[in-house]
Structure 1
Amino acid sequence: MKVFSTLYDKALVWAQHRRAPAILSGISFAESVIFPIPVDVMLAPMAIAQPNRAMYFAMLTTIFSVLGGIAGYFLGLLAFEPIVLPVIEYFGHTDTLLQAQRWFAEWGFWVIFLAGFSPIPYKVFTVTAGVMTIAFLPFVIASVIGRGMRFFLVAWLMKWGGPIMEKHLRQHMDTIGWAVVVLAIVAYFILR
């Protein structure tokens, strides 16, 4: 099934739209709070389509992702019981929240850094940081470092690889996409 390569082709077209930076910023913000799709799926095609602006796109993505993380932090801090907890319970993610809280208790700063850099859902940890009233400044610093490293790496790889990277990425997009889906399902069952 060629679902991901079709989406990738559309993302390449969208990446050249004049409002693409604004859309990228909005998706970066939303992805850190609620949006389920990683922003990399828009950042990578934009960096390939406009390599001279790749680092600018990475900077936008980092800034708005961290701002979204801050919104998630305050959502957890100020609206946990009336908003966040019912949603978590509705979707059956209470165990995931408890696991995230255990990781915070054990690892602190490094949990945010790893969640920011890795494909682990950053949004779960932004809200949990607020719930647990993790120190705000270390939270922001870890978010900037983790998210920045991830997005600048993606942009740099796309810029560096250029047309060759685009060809290989396009060729293997469905395999990569389905592998990410499988990993997400496995991670779900492990964290559950």
Structure 2
Amino acid sequence: MSYASHPAAPWLLFAITFVESSISPLPPIPLLIPMCIARPDRAWFYAGVCSLGAVTGGYLGYAIGALLYESVGAWLIGIYGLQEKAAHLIHTSQDYWFWVLLTKGLTPIPFKIVTIMSGFLHFDLWKFTVGMVISRVTFFAMIAVALRYYGDNIRIFIEKHLPMTALALVVVVVGGFFVLPMVL
């Protein structure tokens, strides 16, 4: 948890969240949680950093989908084995796309597929922005609330059961890469 208190940690958190919304599979949660536990008084700030990174990174994902789908966008979706899911999303009506964006943004699944597909489908940029802001701010705020008020108990539990907690985290992250393509 010492890295969570480093002065550059918020910048790293922003960068990870930015690229997670557009190109990278690396989620910000493994950095956000220890940062909020180490400094519960800054949980709201960290949630704001993540929200800003997710929204600005979402615009990069949108641009990739709108301008570079054939080269970069399709390649990124292919890396994660999400071609079938992307094809399914293409057939989603523009009338429902806002709700897809809102729902996917409230979950820890890779948000990049939705941002890239939003650009590819030329989804209304204003609706895209509203959906992104609502969903990502809400998602990170829920984490901040939990860690702000229960962070000490979580920290004590993690310190007491560190090996099992680390193993569980690895299983969830690695398992997520195998399960995710099946449920998206």
TM class, shorter-length: 0.7 to 0.9
CA distances 1:5-64 after superposition (whole Å, capped 9, x unpaired): xxxxxxx22111111111111111011011112211111111111111110110111011
* 1:12-31 map, 5 Å: 12-31=1-20
TM-score (norm 1): 0.84
Aligned to 2:168: 175
Q: How many percent of aligned residue pairs carry the same amino acid?
A: 29
Q: Decide whether aligned partners of structure 1 residues 104 and 161 sit closer, same or farther in structure 2, where only a CA change above 3 A counts.
A: farther
Instruction: Give the distance between the partners of 2:148 and 2:2, measured in 1 at CA.
Output: 17
Aligned to 2:105: 116
Where does structure 2 lack aligned partners over 5 or more consecutive residues?
none
Instruction: Give the distance between the partners of 2:80 and 2:148, measured in 1 at CA.
Output: 39
Where does structure 1 lack aligned partners over 5 or more consecutive residues?
1-11
CA distances 1:149-181 after superposition (whole Å, capped 9, x unpaired): 111111111110122122334533432441343
Aligned to 2:149: 160
Aligned to 1:142: 131
TM superposition outliers: structure 1 runs of 4+ over 6 Å: none
Q: Decide whether aligned partners of structure 1 residues 49 and 110 sit closer, same or farther in structure 2, where only a CA change above 3 A counts.
A: same
- Secondary structure of 2:178's counterpart equals helix
Matched, 1:40 2:40: no
TM-score (norm 2): 0.87
Aligned to 1:67: 56
Which one of the candidate residues 162, 180, 183 is aligned to 1:187? Answer: 180
Instruction: Give the distance between the partners of 1:56 and 1:104, measured in 2 at CA.
Output: 36
Q: Decide whether aligned partners of structure 1 residues 152 and 173 sit closer, same or farther in structure 2, where only a CA change above 3 A counts.
A: farther
Cα pair 2:94 2:123 within 8 Å, conserved: no
Q: Decide whether aligned partners of structure 1 residues 89 and 157 sit closer, same or farther in structure 2, where only a CA change above 3 A counts.
A: closer
Cα pair 2:5 2:35 within 8 Å, conserved: yes
How many equivalent residue pairs?
180
